[in-house]
């Protein structure tokens, strides 16, 4: 679903990604752990080309993202759902309008009925159909994350990138969002990258975990495997 090879990105002297590579397989939920500032958000933004890497190769669904025209890029972005770190809802639009926005922008639905269907299905998936007419300011942090997730799902993407889906939430709500990510994987048959510092989320929602440190991946394993590691850098995440 995603293949990244030898990816480099620096901002001035500040080298963020220093030869990153990985594969995301179909149906897999890959967790990426890393300290704050290690480049997790930069990596995900490179995958959808919101940030232009300096060097390397990124294939999404077999296609070379870095060689695409803007038209081709917009086409492939329909297959990629992105849950932004801050939620990134439009404050001046209610929930329904926030969800309709990507559908209209990509002209994915042909009529009003189909637009409604999609909006309602996505809201049902995250258990918030009754928030459809609310404004973002009326939503709690956890609800905003859920609506952000509904918006990421609205185009029924094949790949979903979750950037810190549970940050800032209490432990119970984090657990619920993590379960939701798992449900989405099954319901939408999606493959996902889940960036997180939340070990509970990593435990519940991921099949495999990679740790980003000093611009490259340290290691890879399941939650259970890594939790038993004696390596100091890996242990630090499980304290």
Ligand X SMILES: Nc1ncnc2c1ncn2[C@@H]1O[C@H](COP(=O)(O)OP(=O)(O)OP(=O)(O)O)[C@@H](O)[C@H]1O
Contact positions vs Mg ion (CB under 5 A): 40-41
Nearest residue (CB) to ligand X, 11 versus 238: 11
List C-alpha distances in Å: 165 to 115, 146, 168, 173, 201. Answer: 25, 9, 9, 11, 9
Of these partners, ligand X, Mg ion, none, which one is at the site of residue 119 (CB under 5 to 8 Å by kind)?
A: none
Binder of ligand X out of 4, 31, 33, 41 (CB under 6 A): 41
Cβ-based burial of 227 (10 A; exposed 0-12, middle 13-18, buried ≥19):
middle
Q: Tell the smallest beta-carbon distance from residue 157 to ligand X (Å).
A: 21
Binder of ligand X out of 1, 4, 7, 16 (CB under 6 A): 16
Q: How many CB atoms lie within 10 A of CB 136?
A: 20
Nearest residue (CB) to ligand X, 85 versus 173: 85
Does residue 55 belong to the site contacting ligand X (CB under 6 A)? Answer: no
Question: Which residues does 156 contact at the CB level (< 8 Å), separation at least 6?
Answer: 188
Nearest residue (CB) to Mg ion, 25 versus 236: 236
How far apart (Å, rounded) are the C-alpha atoms in residues 205 and 63? Answer: 27
Q: Which of residues 73-102 bind ligand X (CB under 6 A)?
A: 85
Residues in contact with ligand X by CB under 6 A are 11, 16, 34, 36-42, 85
């Amino acid at each position: 679903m995603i293949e990244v090879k030898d990816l480099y990105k620096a901002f001035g002297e500040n080298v963020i990604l220093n030869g990153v590579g990985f594969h995301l397989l179909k149906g897999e939920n890959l967790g990426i752990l890393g300290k704050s500032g290690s480049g997790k958000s930069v990596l995900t933004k490179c995958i959808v080309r919101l940030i232009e890497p300096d060097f390397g190769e990124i294939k999404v669904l077999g296609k070379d993202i870095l060689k695409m025209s803007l038209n081709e890029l917009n086409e492939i972005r329909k297959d990629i759902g992105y849950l932004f770190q801050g939620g990134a809802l439009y404050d001046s639009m209610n929930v329904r309008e926030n969800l309709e926005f990507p559908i209209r922008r990509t002209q994915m639905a042909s009529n009003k009925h189909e637009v409604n269907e999609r909006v309602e299905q996505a809201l049902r998936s995250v258990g918030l159909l009754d928030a459809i007419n609310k404004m973002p300011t009326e939503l709690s942090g956890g609800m905003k994350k859920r609506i952000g997730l509904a918006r990421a799902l609205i185009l029924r993407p094949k790949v979903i990138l979750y950037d810190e889906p549970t940050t800032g939430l209490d432990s119970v709500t984090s657990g619920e969002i993590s379960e939701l990510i798992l449900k989405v994987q099954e319901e939408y048959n999606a493959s996902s990258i889940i960036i997180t510092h939340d070990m509970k989320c990593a435990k519940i929602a991921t099949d495999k975990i990679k740790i980003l440190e000093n611009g490259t991946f340290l290691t890879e394993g399941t939650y259970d495997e890594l939790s038993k590691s004696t390596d100091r850098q890996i242990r630090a995440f499980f304290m």
